Structure 1
Amino acid sequence: MRESGGGPLAAILAALLCSCAPLAVSADSWCSAEDEDPDSRWYWRVDEYPHPITQPRYCNRYRASFVCDPDRVINKKQADSLDWIIERIRNETLCICPTCGKSQARGITLGVAIMEHIHRPHNLPISEAVRLFAERLRKQWGLGHCDDDILLLISTKDKQSHTLVGPAVSGVFPQEVADQIYLESRGHFSNCDFYEGLESMVQSYFDMLRRLQLKGLVGARVQPPPGTSAGVIVGIVFGALALMLLAVGAVLLVVRRCDAQHFSTKSIPEALRRMRQLRPARHRHHFGRHNSKAATAPSYVRAPTAAAVAAATTPVAQKLTTPLAAPPPKPPRPPQTATLSNGCYASPSGVETPHLNVSDASDSSDDERSTSDSDGECTSCESEAAIASTPGASCSSTKTHATV
């Protein structure tokens, strides 16, 4: 029974071993370029390869990324996973540039370039062509701040892979360490597991950088020399003193212009109040314009204070520098003549009549109207006492004439 049972069991094992051999061969043949049509190949040049940040759609990405896969060797989910690890490296490692400010708080940046074929100029060896392609592509992308970046390049159909470390990273992360990380992940590329190989390399870089950072070899920010901070403090102190001197000089200049003898802070409020009162109105009425709203709007006039009225009505005594002009002379008064009333000549008060003789009949003229009574006597002069009581008046029994 044992011998008869062992025969079928051995036959089953032999069949399984025979079925596994074609699987390995088929996998190896899938990674080779023998079964590919030569006319359908596309050989990438450096100047034609897209940028993952500025041209994400040509890199088979839907947003800015650090992974470029124009030939779609891996799917989008796998590319997103690589982007997530690269973002962790940038965020959890410190800047290693000589001048690291707050705006450059990111650490080392990794870039991944995946393609099927690389153009080989002048029939160069494929390894040399890949190395030159990686050097030019790293400079063309410029992912770091000061060449603190690492580029991972894979050509699947050419079966080539190259890791290039930037000059700023090579001081703490030499090229030999990068080559050792590739050798540890080479088995994934031999089995055409390109995503697993890339994920293993990126994770190895992340672990290595964190260990170096804990030891203080990576991410130590460059501190300014001690003399720099002291110079900044001295500059701030001297700047403050200069500002104080300028302020004091400005105050002294204002006091000098305002006549310091009559300068008093008590008069400032009163002066400001008077300035507000004397300030012209901002909104002047334009009478030439027909504006019903402006015509009906109430106007408020501020009444002047008693102090302002007193200041306006107070006479100002000012010494004259030029003599006053003499007033013009008054015109001469017209001559006044005596009036004749009822044949009596009465001279006005204060007027002398040297050339008038009331007793002389020659002073009268024939063409003047006679003022004598019918009896030949002056009716107004009834007695000598009445004549004597009236100064400057005379009567005669004859015809009396007076010229006015």
Structure 2
Amino acid sequence: MYRHTKISTCSKVCIYLTYISSVIITLSQTLNNSTNSKVNCVAEISHKEFWEKEDFPNPQINIDLCGRHCKTSWICDPNAVLSSQQADELDSIVNTVAESGKCSCQNCTSTDGYNISIALVSSLKPSIKSLKDSAVEFIHFIRDSWNFQKCDNDIVILLSKDDRKVYTEAGATANKFLTDDCIDQVHDIIESDLSDGKYYDVLKEMATQYK
């Protein structure tokens, strides 16, 4: 025989409060877990004079080593060539480009654009190769290892402060929009500011032009 048992109003309130309490505890644990990596992160500024390509940090993973104060970024600036505010502004421009719609990947949405990431070094390590060859090897290695866009719809900018040089490598898909001729034209535009050491202006202009 089915027996119907009445639950008092007080009991209902107690059950409800217990449920709310458990939800709050769960949310609190989730928030603690999500911020734990940042709480434990100690940002470092590198004093390395030269960087090996294999040692250069990833701004989406090595958040303590890229000069971005323990936050994920598209910019890795371990030697603090830029100020924090300048890097934040560049990140904002990069995010705008990522929604520009310039994408030829198979599964693009209408707003997908290409991904720009920026690497800044004090200088490139001297070698028997020319500076340009060393830079091309460096930028190709980090674009391949970072792999921020699965279908080569990405662009990496490398700026070497002491060498007063900047380099761009575009993945095969991004290169359909940003051709080598376009890259050369943009490099011509920023040449004067680069010679004057206006690194933020250089990178801002490049990211804006590439948009």
Q: TM-score over 0.5 for the alignment?
A: yes
Q: Which residue number in structure 2 is paired with residue 192 of structure 1?
A: 197
RMSD: 1.7
In 2, distance between residues paired with 1:43 and 1:201? 24
Match of residue 152, structure 1, among 151, 157, 169: 157
Match of residue 45, structure 1, among 37, 43, 52: 52
Match of residue 121, structure 2, among 105, 115, 120: 115
Do the aligned partners of 1:163 and 1:179 also contact (CA within 8 Å) in 2? no
Do the aligned partners of 1:70 and 1:114 also contact (CA within 8 Å) in 2? yes
Q: Which has the larger radius of gyration?
A: 1
In 1, distance between residues paired with 2:75 and 2:188? 21
Amino acid at match of 2:124: I
Do the aligned partners of 2:164 and 2:197 also contact (CA within 8 Å) in 1? no
Give aligned-pair identity as a percent. Answer: 24
Q: Specify the SS of the correspondent of 2:209.
A: helix
Q: Which residue number in structure 1 is paired with residue 74 of structure 2?
A: 66
Amino acid at match of 1:78: Q
Residue 107 (structure 1) shift: 1.5
Q: Which residue number in structure 2 is paired with residue 169 of structure 1?
A: 174
In 2, distance between residues paired with 1:105 and 1:184? 28
Matches within 5 A, 1:208-219: none
Q: Which residue number in structure 1 is paired with residue 13 of structure 2?
A: none
Q: Specify the SS of the correspondent of 1:52.
A: coil
TM-score (norm 2): 0.73
Residue 169 (structure 1) shift: 1.5
The alignment status of 1:76 with 2:84, answered yes or no, reads yes
The alignment status of 1:142 with 2:150, answered yes or no, reads no
The alignment status of 1:91 with 2:99, answered yes or no, reads yes
Matches within 5 A, 1:386-401: none
Do the aligned partners of 2:165 and 2:194 also contact (CA within 8 Å) in 1? no
Q: Specify the SS of the correspondent of 1:197.
A: helix
In 1, distance between residues paired with 2:205 and 2:71? 24
Q: Specify the SS of the correspondent of 2:65.
A: helix
Q: Which residue number in structure 2 is paired with residue 106 of structure 1?
A: 112
Cα deviation digits, residues 353-388 of structure 1 (max 9, x gap): xxxxxxxxxxxxxxxxxxxxxxxxxxxxxxxxxxxx
In 2, distance between residues paired with 1:107 and 1:68? 21
Q: Specify the SS of the correspondent of 1:176.
A: helix
Q: Which residue number in structure 2 is paired with residue 133 of structure 1?
A: 138
Do the aligned partners of 1:91 and 1:107 also contact (CA within 8 Å) in 2? yes
Q: Which residue number in structure 1 is paired with residue 26 of structure 2?
A: none
Q: Specify the SS of the correspondent of 1:152.
A: strand
- Answer 1 or 2: higher relative contact order, Cα 8 Å, separation at least 6: 2
In 1, distance between residues paired with 2:63 and 2:112? 21
In 2, distance between residues paired with 1:50 and 1:191? 27
In 2, distance between residues paired with 1:57 and 1:77? 17
Residue 56 (structure 1) shift: 1.9
In 1, distance between residues paired with 2:178 and 2:199? 24
Structure 1 unaligned blocks of 5 or more: 1-39, 207-404
In 1, distance between residues paired with 2:198 and 2:186? 16
In 1, distance between residues paired with 2:58 and 2:112? 20
Amino acid at match of 2:61: T
The alignment status of 1:57 with 2:64, answered yes or no, reads yes
In 1, distance between residues paired with 2:103 and 2:188? 28
Do the aligned partners of 2:76 and 2:120 also contact (CA within 8 Å) in 1? yes
Aligned residues: 164
Q: Specify the SS of the correspondent of 1:92.
A: coil
Amino acid at match of 1:92: S
Q: Specify the SS of the correspondent of 1:157.
A: coil
Do the aligned partners of 1:189 and 1:197 also contact (CA within 8 Å) in 2? yes
Do the aligned partners of 2:102 and 2:177 also contact (CA within 8 Å) in 1? no
In 1, distance between residues paired with 2:148 and 2:165? 23
Q: Specify the SS of the correspondent of 1:57.
A: coil
Do the aligned partners of 2:115 and 2:148 also contact (CA within 8 Å) in 1? yes
